Chains A and B, each alone.
Chain A
């Protein structure tokens, strides 16, 4: 009596296609480098109304990052409409079917009637929405041109979602609209979601979005697929803005794209790719596509992703190899060899219930009933409820001719194995040191919230000569009125008092004293003061100077309200000379400093 289960396999067209795609993945990575990478980058800051601070910096950062990723770049800063038209035309001329086209714009953008427009720096003051449309660059138009060029892939990145005067002027919706009618094979990224506005990062050199994007693109070791790059950008921007801004992407790309392609042309440090291969291998395994599953798992092993994934791949490979051999022998009618390979597969994975069933079939085809019963018993222990039912049915049929089967049937339902046996061969938990290290290195923690408040102010000693005063931030000391004279530094009153005392006590110093007329004039006048300058010159020009009871910083000139003054030279506490000084508006008087 022979009990044979059907083992035939049907390979669907879909599977074939998928297989071809998977098998072709690595070559595709090489192939993507056959075409050029071309980028047009525009950064607009200099808007007459609501100028931006970072857009030009963003363009420069992207230029540098994209060059590091092999792009030929053209970068425009503060582009007028005509500049943008011309540059886009030239950009399009460079595109062919093998090219990867990337368009980046940082500046003001606006949605008008659900259509996106990029604002040039010479946006005129127009009265109507229609006129505004013509004054801006239409994103739809760029899409149309890209469609016409049929580049291999189009990447459009718009960091143009800041709140802006154009939108306010025409009471338009904030942010950009969900892009319509994008070309095939395109990837579109906005610095924030459609209809939302993004921050310009006023305290930084770049917008949050571009800073993160340029950073990730330029990391040569970050050989991850573009989607993964943007996933990281989204995470970083969202964290940096405390959830207020999350970049948005949409894609119709049918091929993977890597900003940074590894030297081998294959993402061997890309654990995401390895995971994908493992998942694909599992699908192949479920469909009995052993050779393809082996190839995929072998790729994972070769790429050494580390951690649990690598361990799983190494563990899986002998099992798959045994299954492939068993299948080949079974189809060749060599049941003994097939059974042997199924046993090998089961040694690699005792929970491979279908291998046990196939092995049992192989033994039954040779009339080796005791061996078949052993495998069926194993299924009753380790299999799922469904598999156990199948094994039970087979054993019941065999019981008539096999005492071993009869005995097994009589023994009742066995208990499942302990959980440690279920997970033997699976490297989970651990700690997975390699995964931890990867995470550690890939996720440096942003501590800006601590560093932004850091100060390192050094208390200034009380000096007896002014040369030791720290250089001021401005080249001249503005003096609005005697009572408002800027002190030597942003020191507190006590420090100022100490400095003045030091100067007062200095052996040699100057004092500038307004004459009574000038003081009275200043007190009476409500009109804005007119100013002139005093230049102190001579070998002792670094002599400390007091004005209106305070020491003033004198790298260059002393700015004084127009009027009459007396300059007193003081030595050892005594006034040794006096000079009259008349400060006229916008004039510079020179005082020679001489030691007595």
Chain B
């Protein structure tokens, strides 16, 4: 029943290795025969203390590792795996156990993280990795990047892990946590999905109930903060329980989006003109606002709007009017008139206007619209001309 790995290891280290004496051999025979891991550890300690420079130190480490592993003693198993890797960086056994157990280390040192990274990469470099090793290696590599606050790399490794093992609810939890930690708008919904997956998934690979409840509490807190309330959370749980990744185009409305939508609904009902202008302005102020302007709005007619005159130039016969639409004192639109008005209007005068969009500046926001006096209503009529002087009639009798 000799394994290939063991054969290779023993062949490698036994070429020149010899027993120190027959007593060392006796001791190893006792270790071999001892089925109790606890007692085996005692015999191994005896071997180590009596033969500290034994030529079979790597084998001894493997025996230590097997005993600690049988006892479920993660910290000692990790420590021994680290010793194995320190002695032989290409040790598959050391790499495997170090990769498996490193994420259990609560305060890993930079050195441990570096060793874990090499160990994980060593496993992935194996031409024929055993089943389950690849996701495990990605799990640990992601965890290492996470500890180093290298979130995009962590995210990438966890994604790979989940693609290889979609049932790994623990990785969904980790990925969700990393995505949420990144605090980037486009990662909030994927983060919620993964946390929902961790808390709701109940088949093979699911987290224990207690842990699922913990993640569910985190999910509910974040979801409520993001969405404004917990409406739709149950649907999210159900959907995430059924699939490891959200479907294309999946979205959850943020509290800000909800607010804007409700504002739009309210404005559309009470002030459609203003609603249209707010929508237009939001599109222009979006990251791709310049593109939107160039492709859609430039040289197009502006729908009829109502705004407040802030200033008009030049005085007397103005042909350039600065208008606030949303707020009476906040300049948003400059109307350039082909023909000037014959008279001034007071600031604060409410005007209704239309025209053709000419140019756009994103910050500070400003839209220039070509219009004409005939397309503007609300402008005060020019003052009446002064009455003619009365002519005194002379009567000549």
Q: Which residues of A contact B (CB under 8 A)?
A: 205, 211-212, 214-216, 218-219, 275, 278-279, 282, 308-309, 311-312, 314-315, 351, 384-386, 388, 413, 415-416, 418-420, 422-433, 435-437, 439-441, 443-448, 450-452, 454-461, 463-465, 467-471, 501-502, 504-507, 542, 572-573
Instruction: Kindly report which residue of chain B lies nearest to residue A386, judged by CB atoms.
Output: B26
Contact partners of A468 in chain B: CB under 8 A: 258-263, 266
Asked if B228 and A384 sit within 8 Å, CB to CB, the answer is: no
Given contacts A420-B2, A429-B62, A573-B308, 6 further A-B contacts (CB under 8 A): A205-B217, A385-B22, A433-B133, A456-B180, A458-B255, A465-B263
Contact partners of B197 in chain A: CB under 8 A: none
Asked if B97 and A436 sit within 8 Å, CB to CB, the answer is: yes
Given contacts A278-B35, A451-B215, A463 and B97 within 8 Å (CB-CB): no
Judge if B181 is at the interface, Cβ distance under 8 Å.
yes
Which one of B19, B226, B256 lies within 8 Å of A461 (CB-CB)? B256
Which one of A219, A431, A542, A573 lies within 8 Å of B96 (CB-CB)? A431
Which one of B10, B26, B70, B263 lies within 8 Å of A467 (CB-CB)? B263
Contact partners of A451 in chain B: CB under 8 A: 177, 214-215, 218
Asked if B97 and A444 sit within 8 Å, CB to CB, the answer is: no
Contact partners of B207 in chain A: CB under 8 A: 444
Asked if A445 and B170 sit within 8 Å, CB to CB, the answer is: yes
Asked if B70 and A275 sit within 8 Å, CB to CB, the answer is: yes
- Counting chain B residues whose Cβ lies within 8 A of the other chain, the interface size class is 35 or more
- Interchain Cβ contacts under 8 Å between A and B, 22 examples: A205-B217, A219-B208, A275-B70, A308-B70, A384-B25, A386-B26, A419-B14, A429-B93, A430-B96, A431-B93, A435-B70, A441-B205, A447-B177, A452-B218, A455-B222, A456-B180, A456-B188, A458-B185, A469-B259, A504-B327, A507-B271, A573-B329
Asked if A470 and B308 sit within 8 Å, CB to CB, the answer is: no
Q: Mark B51-72, 1 if CB is under 8 A from A, else 0.
A: 0000010010011011001101
Asked if B256 and A444 sit within 8 Å, CB to CB, the answer is: no
Q: Mark B94-133, 1 if CB is under 8 A from A, else 0.
A: 0011001101100000000000000000000000001111
| A209 vs B271: C-alpha distance when bound (angstroms) | 59
| A573 vs B328: C-alpha distance when bound (angstroms) | 7
Which one of A413, A447, A455, A505 lies within 8 Å of B174 (CB-CB)? A447
Given contacts A214-B210, A416-B19, A440-B100, A450 and B181 within 8 Å (CB-CB): yes
CB distance from B373 to the nearest CB of A (A): 23
Given contacts A428-B62, A460-B259, A420 and B7 within 8 Å (CB-CB): yes
Asked if A419 and B326 sit within 8 Å, CB to CB, the answer is: no
Which one of A430, A452, A505 lies within 8 Å of B5 (CB-CB)? A430
Asked if B263 and A436 sit within 8 Å, CB to CB, the answer is: no
CB distance from B305 to the nearest CB of A (A): 13
| A455 vs B223: C-alpha distance when bound (angstroms) | 10
Instruction: Kindly report which residue of chain A lies nearest to residue B72, judged by CB atoms.
Output: A439
| A505 vs B215: C-alpha distance when bound (angstroms) | 43
Contact partners of B223 in chain A: CB under 8 A: 456
Contact partners of B222 in chain A: CB under 8 A: 454-456
Which one of B7, B10, B33, B181 lies within 8 Å of A419 (CB-CB)? B10
| A457 vs B224: C-alpha distance when bound (angstroms) | 9
Which one of B36, B74, B274 lies within 8 Å of A439 (CB-CB)? B74
Judge if B3 is at the interface, Cβ distance under 8 Å.
yes
Which one of A436, A444, A470 lies within 8 Å of B259 (CB-CB)? A470
Q: Which 3 A-B pairs have the closest CB atoms?
A: A505-B327, A468-B259, A215-B210
Asked if B260 and A463 sit within 8 Å, CB to CB, the answer is: yes
Given contacts A420-B11, A573-B328, A219 and B209 within 8 Å (CB-CB): yes
